Amino acid sequence: MIYIDYPFEDKKEYKRRPAVVISYENRKTKVVLLKISSVEKYKDTKKYPYAYKIKDLQQSGLPKTSYVLADKELLLPDNTQCEGTGRLSLNDLKAVNALHNLAVLANTQTTLNYEGGII
**CB burial string 47-58: b at 16+ within 10 A, e below:** ebebbbebeebe
Which comes out higher in pLDDT, residue 118 or 77? 77
Q: Each residue of 40-98: pLDDT tens digit?
A: 999 999 999 999 999 998 888 899 999 999 998 888 776 666 677 788 999 999 999 99
According to CATH, the topology of domain 2-113 is: SH3 type barrels. (2.30.30)
Statement: residue 119 has pLDDT above 50: no
